[in-house]
Amino acid sequence: MARRRILVTGATDGIGLALVRRLASRHDVVATGRRDIAAAQRLLPEGVLYIKADQSRPVEAAKAVGRGLLEIGWRELDFAVLNAGTGWAGSPQDEAAKSVRETVDVNLAGTVALAHIMFSFLRPASGQLTLIGSVARSGSSQFATYAASKAGLYGLSRALGQEWRGKVRVQLLDPGPTMTDMHEKAGLKTGWTRQWFIRPDDMAAMIEAAIRAGTTPKTLSFLQYVSGASIFGRTIR
Amino acid sequence: MTAQKRALVTGGHAGLGLAFCRALTEAGYAVTALDRTAPKSAVPWTHRVCDLRDRAHVDAAVHYLTAGEPFDLVIFNAGVSATGRFEKIPLEVHQRLIAVNVEAPIVLCSELARRGALAKGGHVVFISSLSHMTGYPGAASYAAAKDAIAIYAKSIRRPFRRDLGVHVACAFPGPIRTAQAERHAPKGAKAQSRIAPEEMAQRILAALRWRRKVIVPGTRARIFALTGRLFPKLTARAMRRIVFDRLDREVW
């Protein structure tokens, strides 16, 4: 079993953090996030390298990740998991310009910028680019801009999958509701429904299995959970 | 006598946007056009110079547009393209494309709604692309942007109808015979098979009168859309052969 070189963005919270904690002992992992290095290192497992990259400034963030990888001597990546995301919840006619821009920057422009920079790292290793979408990408009246940004990731994955065929595999994964802080941060009270959400650890297991399988696009929600994807799913080797 | 209806068209300087401005002026609308380019000669509508890549310009446009009477029809038409291999197109070009094609229309739409600048009983139309149905290798960021705007339109349709009484539609035009399309088309693509902008504008406006929410103008486009829906992977692969494999350069 080989140690793979894996990049995970948005890795200081929620699904990203759970995924890094899951992968860290078996693989070489670089994590990125908007938190300061000291705060990130308290959260991340030992041995995980951290690059501070705030995707609300998409180009700067992507370039910082590219530079950071070269500084630690990584010229190749086996997997890049672009997971960083944010959102705003409420009626679309109440959403202000500021939050629209934040969501489009972090979720769409930031991911496009990183995909652009990651190509030169993934290409030599014939690696795999995994974008974390959402089940909301088919439309959501409560998360209109968020849904739009995630739909954009589908369009990106579909086009790049064809453009990079034989060079870099491109995959989109669509997690369902997960027990992270995202809903509260977005201003949505989840209430009693929250107990039905999938735990971040389980979602991370489902994501790892889906990355290994390579299927795209792939929904990771209740149906996949009850069919045992978090327990029986395979691991990245 | 009823007051003159007001329409807003983004990207009104050329192509489909210009066709919308002409058709709506002829139909009796008071039209406001936003475009980064000023018209060379006088036009019978209000033209405001606004570079949608620039946040300060967009914010200024919001103030300008919400100062007067509300709009009965808003067409988010402005869009730019970038064709070629994704990694060969400069990063900054992809960012500008997302700013113009995704961020600007969503910011304008939500701010117009928030400030009561959309008239009850009016229409909001987003111009997405047939690529939403077919995929578009060779224009990855453009495809991403057009998917995003299509799903934004779909997401706001119900709350806008319920809370504001505004009808939201999204159009998915295939190739149009414009200078922009000409620049981005792959080698050997036939210009005759593209629909003229005037005809495209008429078709979209006609579909609005029927209160259509999904507008796919033209039989060819409808066949492509249906194929794309039924066989998404096959269609994306075919698009790779039709478009991506024939691109010999990067254009933005």
Say which CATH number the domain at B207 has: 3.40.50.720
- Which chain A residue has its CA at the smallest distance from B136's CA? A159
Question: How many other CB atoms are found less than 10 A from the CB of residue A196?
Answer: 11
CA–CA gap between residue A180 and residue A200 (Å, rounded): 7
The chain-wide mean pLDDT, for chain A, equals 95
Q: Please tell me whether residue B13 adopts helix, strand or coil conformation.
A: coil
- Does the bond joining B197 to the residue before it have cis omega, within 30 degrees of 0? no
**Would you say residue B74 lies in a domain?**
yes
pLDDT above 70: percentage of residues in chain A: 100
What total of structural domains would you count in chain B? 1
Taking the CA of residue B23 and the nearest CA in chain A, the distance in Å comes to 29
**Would you say residue B188 lies in a domain?**
yes
Identify the pLDDT of residue A174. Answer: 98
pLDDT above 90: percentage of residues in chain B: 88
Question: How many other CB atoms are found less than 10 A from the CB of residue A193?
Answer: 10
CA–CA gap between residue A197 and residue A185 (Å, rounded): 16
Model confidence at A213, in pLDDT bands (50, 70, 90)?
A: very high
Identify the pLDDT of residue A229. Answer: 86
- Yes or no: say if A15 and A207 are a contact pair by the CB < 8 Å rule: yes
Angle between helices B15-26 and B197-209 (to 10 degrees): 50
**Would you say residue B198 lies in a domain?**
yes
Cβ pair A93:B163 closer than 8 A: yes
**Would you say residue B159 lies in a domain?**
yes
**Would you say residue B49 lies in a domain?**
yes
B80 has a pLDDT exceeding 90: yes
Identify the pLDDT of residue A150. Answer: 98
- Give residues 110 to 169 of B whose Cβ lies within 8 Å of A: 110-111, 113-114, 131-132, 135-141, 143-152, 154-160, 163-164
B209 has a pLDDT exceeding 80: yes
Per the document, the length of chain B is 252
- Which residues of B fall within a CB distance of 8 Å from A104? 98, 102-103, 106, 148
**Would you say residue B251 lies in a domain?**
no
ipTM: 0.95
**Would you say residue B34 lies in a domain?**
yes
**Would you say residue B141 lies in a domain?**
yes
Structure tokens at A74: 């990584």
Model confidence at A186, in pLDDT bands (50, 70, 90)?
A: confident
Question: How many other CB atoms are found less than 10 A from the CB of residue A45?
Answer: 15
Nearest CA-CA partner of A114 in A180, A51, A158 = A51
Which structural domain, as residue segments, surrounds residue B34? 6-246
Cβ pair B94:A112 closer than 8 A: yes
